[in-house]
A and B are shown apart, each in its own frame.
Chain A
Amino acid sequence: MALMIAVSLPLLAALLCWIRPFRAVAWGITVACLTLSFAAAVFIASRILANGIAIGIPRWFEADGLSILVILLVSFVCTLAAIFAGGYMHHGSQQTARLWWFYCNYNLLAFALIVVPAFASPNLVWVGVELITLFAILLVGFENTPTALEAAWKYAILTLMGAPISLLGFFVLYWAYHMSGGGTLETWQGLYASASTMSPNLLKFSFLLVFVGFGAKVGLAPMHTWLPDAHSQAPTPICAVLSGIKTTVPLYAILRLLSVILASPEARIGNWMVVIGLFSVGIAAFLLLQVRDYKRMFAYSTVEHMGIILTAAGFATSGGEWGAVAQLMNHSITKSLCFYTAGAVLVVLGTRQIREVRGLFRLSPFAGGALLLCSLAIAGAPPFPIFLSEFSILSAGLRSGHNAAVIVLAILIVLAFIAIFLQVNRMLFGNPEPQSTPASVPGSVRTAILIAAAPVVVLGVYIPGPVHSLMTLAAQQLGGH
């Protein structure tokens, strides 16, 4: 029941924002509904820790440990991004008359993001992932400038092109399931159960199609080209959602399917995932070195982290799975903080160019401090959570004998670390340009940054018991146990 509430609240919010008398208070409605949705998700998580599964409508909406972890992350990031949007959009947007429409579309996006992990049936997951893509398109182009529309168009074409390819992938999955005598495929659980009897060739073909189709939405190289464009042009709260969550939700679907494939004894493709993941990390690490726009910098860092998660899942050991889940979670909370900070810097100085930002510490100690914190955290410095998850991924790789992959991964992570710090160093220190007059950071932006920073600081030194057992549960389900 709580699951249905968590799923339907954003839909309700979208409806309310659309009704004319409520348009003026669209922000309040959005924040209230998404907060309630997050509270419902926390409640479901506590139930799942006790019972193992939460059922909304049997065979339609079911959540296990992995799904609820993703739902928690989605509702957390969406709520904070909505709070952030309050000050940011009213301050920075040229389209203030259409803000109700922004919130309406934003709630639809939040709905699609929450519903994907809540779906029990793989074909509905396809529908949900397509809805995410569609609802995000108009938000990317919200500012209606030529460059924003260009970014939206690139994003639309590249990601929608993947839709029919992954659709055929799901059809083939059905076919494989049907031919193994399974009848009609209804849930992920049913798929795990018969993975070993399904034809490995069909499974591989199906996974290949879904991987290409959804990989474009995740932003895996070489299908990542939409990602930096969309992130530099979209309103910053949308960037936080796109980078923190919108890339991880299709990745969640890929990982679910991957665990099915890995359960089939003859269709071993783990090493391919390691190679493809490392390719993404490599491309991102080198592009990070020469980036000129700090929002694009964080976008490339997303490509890097998606590659790391895929590599960890490709190790196909319980350590790798734990690392993948931890990295997925840490990336979501840290990357959304990065974009709230980038938004604050944009409000303060009004430029996205790295070379035009100098001496941020002096201009705005708050934005400067937040930028230092979030870049340390996203680059993987100790004692932040990403350091822990990257460390556990590297050690899992060594334990499973992927020594070469671990060495390459470690080198690329260090390279990305250096690249991010070369860029951020230029922004934080030095003398500010004399004519620059910094604006103050709006209250809701400050609030969002402070709340988002709390888990980033805490989870690096102390993981609370329930969070740890939820992560362990999610890692087990990722391994198909």
Chain B
Amino acid sequence: MASAQTQLIEGLNALDAGLILLTAFAMVATRQVQGVMRFFIVQSVFLAISAFLIGFNRGSIHLLALGVITIGAKAVAIPLVLKRTLPDDLYERREINQVINIPSSLLLALLLAIAAEFLVGPLVSASTDPVVHVNLPIGLAGILIGAYSLVARREAIPQLVGILAMENGAFFAGVAIAPDLPLIAELAIAIDVILIAVVIGVLTRDITRTVGTTEAATMSELKEEPYIWR
């Protein structure tokens, strides 16, 4: 009976992992700032659900608390902080410029996900816990796709969301492989994530006021003149 319940939860966790990967793809495919932000919130909720599922399975209060902290920090606090610090027009109707177009980006994201699976394949075989087999590759895929969108997008808020999505990926792997992390560390990391949003929010606001745009592509005054390899 208990084993059937465990299996059900592991199945649900695998489904949840699929949804996390799907939201990561959706963030790459979305052109509006608002849309990217929304998918990030959805992804954070899925991350919390995975923490709840694994926490329930292992009877770990820490993971249940981590789920609550995740929702509080990433789905509530960060969107609020950004709404307050940033001017509204930065949020609305923005089409994001990308270095690589969306279909190619999706293809690259898919390749990154497959690469993540192969990278950690030999490592997860050391563990018999099926949750680790699901969460570690998907978490690493989340990090890689987030890093890709960070490099490909030349706009302040999508870059910030890229960093936060990478953080989601790290945590998604973390709930499976490091479930007994002390609660204080989890709290500290949550505060850290909110601080990232505050600092980047303030910096973005200053940049909009002084430079008038937040397209990172236009900010290229500082460079070393003749690079040695050019």
A binds B: yes
Give the interface of A toward B (CB within 8 A): 121, 123-124, 126-127, 130-131, 134, 137-138, 141, 144-147, 149-154, 156-157, 160-161, 163-165, 167-168, 170-172, 174-175, 178-179, 184, 186, 199, 201-202, 205, 228-229, 232-233, 286-287, 290-292, 296
A202 nearest CB neighbor, chain B only: B123
- When the two chains form the complex, which single residue of B143, B188, B202, B207 contacts A168, counting CB atoms closer than 8 Å? B143
Which residues between 122 and 156 of chain B lie within 8 Å of chain A, taking CB atoms? 122-123, 126-127, 139-140, 143, 146-147, 150, 156
B224 CB to nearest chain A CB (Å): 6
B139, B177, B210: which contacts A149 (Cβ < 8 A)? Answer: B210
Is B195 in contact with A154, judged by CB distance below 8 angstroms?
no
B230 to chain A, nearest CB (A): 12
Q: Within the complex, what minimum Cβ distance (angstroms) separates B220 from chain A?
A: 8
Given contacts A141-B203, A149-B210, are A164 and B169 in contact (CB under 8 A)? Answer: yes
Within the complex, the shortest CB–CB distance from B36 to chain A, in Å, comes to: 16
A228: B residues at CB distance < 8 A: 224
B203 in contact with A168 (CB, 8 Å): no
Contact A233 B222 (CB under 8 A): yes
Report the nearest A residue to B198, measured CB to CB.
A134
User: Which B residues touch A147, using CB under 8 A?
Assistant: 221-222
**A and B contact pairs by CB, cutoff 8 A, 26 listed:** A123-B181, A123-B182, A124-B185, A127-B192, A131-B195, A137-B203, A138-B202, A141-B203, A146-B211, A147-B221, A149-B219, A150-B219, A156-B199, A157-B150, A157-B163, A160-B200, A161-B163, A163-B166, A164-B169, A167-B171, A168-B143, A168-B170, A168-B174, A171-B173, A199-B126, A201-B126
Question: Could you tell me the distance in whole angstroms from the C-beta of A332 to the nearest C-beta in chain B?
Answer: 25
> Cβ of A153 and Cβ of B207 under 8 Å apart?
yes
Check A154–B123 contact: CB distance below 8 A. no
Residues in B whose Cβ lies below 8 Å from that of A232: 222
The count of A-to-B residue pairs whose CB atoms sit within 8 angstroms is: 142
Residue among A145, A160, A286, A290 with max Cβ neighbours from chain B (10 Å): A160
Bound complex: CA of A290 vs CA of B22, how far in Å? 47
Query: Judging by beta carbons under 8 Å apart, are B166 and A164 in contact?
Result: yes
Contact (Cβ within 8 A) A134 B178: no
Residues of B within 8 A of A161 (CB): 147, 150, 163, 166
Chain B residues with a Cβ closer than 8 Å to the other chain, count? 50
Residue B206 is within 8 A (CB to CB) of chain A in the complex: yes
- Contact indicator B203/A152 (Cβ below 8 Å): yes
Q: Determine the chain B residues whose CB is within 8 A of the CB of A152 once the complex forms.
A: 203
Instruction: Determine how close the nearest CB of chain A comes to the CB of B62; give it in whole angstroms.
Output: 10
Please judge, given known A-B contacts A160-B196, A165-B166, A168-B139, whether A174 and B181 are in contact too, CB under 8 Å: yes
CA distance A107 to B71 in the complex (A): 31
Q: What 18 additional pairs, Cβ within 8 angstroms, besides A146-B210, A150-B222, A165-B166?
A: A121-B182, A127-B189, A127-B192, A145-B210, A147-B221, A149-B203, A157-B163, A160-B196, A161-B147, A161-B166, A165-B170, A168-B139, A168-B170, A168-B173, A172-B177, A179-B127, A186-B182, A205-B120
Contacting residue for A167 out of B150, B189, B200, B222, CB 8 A: B189
Task: Answer yes or no: B103 CB below 8 A from chain A CBs.
Answer: no
* B positions within 8 Å CB-CB of A: 120, 122-123, 126-127, 139-140, 143, 146-147, 150, 156, 159, 163, 166-167, 169-171, 173-174, 177-178, 180-182, 184-185, 188-189, 192, 195-196, 199-200, 202-203, 206-207, 210-211, 216, 219-222, 224-226, 228
Residues of A close to B203: CB separation below 8 A? 137-138, 141, 149, 152-153, 156
Question: How many angstroms between the C-alpha atoms of A138 and B199 in the bound complex?
Answer: 7
A290 touches B219 (CB 8 A): no
A289 to chain B: closest residue by CB: B228
Q: Contact between B210 and A287 (Cβ–Cβ < 8 Å)?
A: no
Q: Known contacts A146-B211, A153-B219, A175-B178; is A131 also within 8 Å of B202 by CB?
A: no
Q: How far is the CA of A121 from the CA of B180 in the complex (A)?
A: 14
Could you tell me the distance between the alpha carbons of A202 and B159 in the complex, rounded to whole angstroms?
30
**Which residues of A lie under 8 Å from residue B166 when comparing CB positions?**
161, 163-165
With the chains together, A109 CA to B167 CA distance in Å?
A: 23
Nearest first, the 10 A-B pairs at minimum CB distance are A164-B166, A174-B178, A175-B177, A171-B174, A150-B219, A164-B170, A168-B170, A127-B188, A167-B170, A123-B185
Residue of B nearest to A296 (CB): B224
A160-B196, A163-B167, A201-B123 are contacts. A290–B206 as well, Cβ < 8 Å? Answer: no
Residues in B whose Cβ lies below 8 Å from that of A167: 167, 170-171, 174, 189
* CA A450 to CA B177, docked complex, whole Å: 52
**Cβ-defined contact, B146 with A164, below 8 A:** yes
| Chain B nearest Cβ from A423, distance in angstroms | 14
Tell me if B216 and A153 are in contact (CB < 8 A): yes
**Known contacts A127-B189, A147-B222, A291-B224; is A134 also within 8 Å of B210 by CB?**
no
**CB-CB nearest in chain A for B159:** A157
With A and B bound together, what is the CA distance between A149 and B202 in angstroms?
11
Cα-based distance from A146 to B221 in the complex (angstroms):
9
The CA of A130 and the CA of B176, in the complex, are separated in Å by 23
Please report the C-alpha to C-alpha distance between residue A302 and residue B203 in the assembled complex, in whole angstroms.
26
Contact at B206–A144, with CB atoms within 8 Å?
A: yes
A126 contacts which chain B residues (CB < 8 A)?
189
Minimum C-beta distance from A126 to chain B (A)? 8
Chain B nearest CB from A229 CB (Å) reads: 4
Q: Is the CB of A178 within 8 A of B226?
A: no
Q: Are A156 and B127 in contact (CB under 8 A)?
A: no
Minimum CB–CB distance for B226 against chain A, Å = 6
